[in-house]
Structure 1
């Protein structure tokens, strides 16, 4: 292998040899609480979006049913798909 000293390796060793910063005691509990809040918020957002999607689909179906031509005289009877 390379016998020459690597400057980056020396810098990493110096960084790892220094004392580590103190971590708050309740950090894991706060992270878990925040994670639960994020999951709950996403679940509520997804539920609301799905409810809006279903409401829009039902509204579209109702509007299509209400505006469907019920009068057979308004449909052209000459066998074409469009009226000339």
Structure 2
């Protein structure tokens, strides 16, 4: 018997055997788990958007208070008073 015909005979034997039965609640369990995963993913996405929004608001508030683009006053020369 050649390897090809032996392999073919094994496949035919496997296909002729009765197939194992699936648990009756398999579909319901898969739907339940998929729904839970979808809700968690949606909640995580909303949380990330909320954190991004909070970071942007904090940055805008800090920039409006600190004004980092303004050059600080020079303190290297004394003021010219009393001339």
Once the two structures are TM-superposed, the CA of residue 61 in structure 1 deviates from its matched residue by 1.1
Q: Distance in 1 between matches of 2:17 and 2:29?
A: 27
Match of 1:16? 15
Match of 2:41? 42
The structure with more radius of gyration: 2
Match of 2:79? none
Q: Are 1:62 and 2:61 matched, yes or no?
A: yes
Match of 1:81? none
CA RMSD of aligned residues (A): 2.5
Q: Structure 2-normalised TM-score? A: 0.70
Q: Distance in 2 between matches of 1:51 and 1:23?
A: 43
Q: Distance in 1 between matches of 2:65 and 2:13?
A: 76
Alignment gaps of 5+ in structure 1: 76-84
Once the two structures are TM-superposed, the CA of residue 59 in structure 1 deviates from its matched residue by 0.6
Q: Relative contact order (C-alpha < 8 Å, sep 6+): which is higher?
A: 1
Alignment gaps of 5+ in structure 2: 75-83
- Shift in alpha-carbon separation, 1:67–1:21, aligned structure 2, 3 A: same
